[in-house]
Structure 1
Amino acid sequence: MGKWSYGLLNPADCLDDWKLCLLTYCCPFAPFGLAADKIMSQGDGYRCLVIANIPIVSIVVLPCWRAHIRKAKGVDGNFFFDCCAAYCCPCCTIYQGSHEAGVKGESEWDRTVEIMKRGYEGFDPKKEAERAKAQGKDAANSVS
């Protein structure tokens, strides 16, 4: 069995892959889901990501996610420490597990920015507001 390639609460490790670190702190469920998908069988990572967005359930999912990565990568540890790490510093835990799973900040950062750009291209708030009003009127007319 081995050790984690990155430690918890270690600024030097965070600076090593600063884009993954920033992505983890700004949008923690993105690297969480990517790491789960890399470690688990096809599709399980996305189910895990959806489940983790349920507030009460996420308390249970993060330590289990970390334990699964630890076992898959042959890292020493136990579930008690997985719980302690997940509850004391969830973002550091996600960063550490994502890195161990093979999520690279450079490629994921670029991919996330590209997806966000596509989401905003052609977005016009005024047109969206008018469309929403029209849909609301249509729904009200169909009920009457």
Structure 2
Amino acid sequence: MGRKEIRRSMPLLPISIVMKLTDLSARQIRYYDEQDLISPARTEGNRRLYSLNDVDVLLEIKDLLEQGINIAGIKKIFHMKTVQHHIEDEKNSGKINSDLSDEEVRKLLRQELLQVGRFQKPGMQQREFPRFH
């Protein structure tokens, strides 16, 4: 992890600043934390502190919601990104044959997505995020 990434992952920002940066309410931000989409650090007084990476994720969540994707879909997208990074890391470290074609990698990702979908509760396809007014 480079110095820039370390700085971006440092938990420094209180929720009030994150609200201003993302134009999200405290309730929305806490909800995305409860959904394990972000994982802010906690102070000794149990206050959440957010990193710049957390802000990026919140902005991405906001964009995806505006595109009509529900929380279940967002979780799948984030899971697929994690799987893709894991596959790339293993290819780079030599744990996976680096001769895998892009098509083979996509096939692995598709299989992973189907596996995730299999464990999805019925009814999760409906809009899952709460209404914030």
Name the TM-score, length of structure 1 as normaliser. 0.23
Q: Which has the larger radius of gyration?
A: 1
Name the TM-score, length of structure 2 as normaliser. 0.24
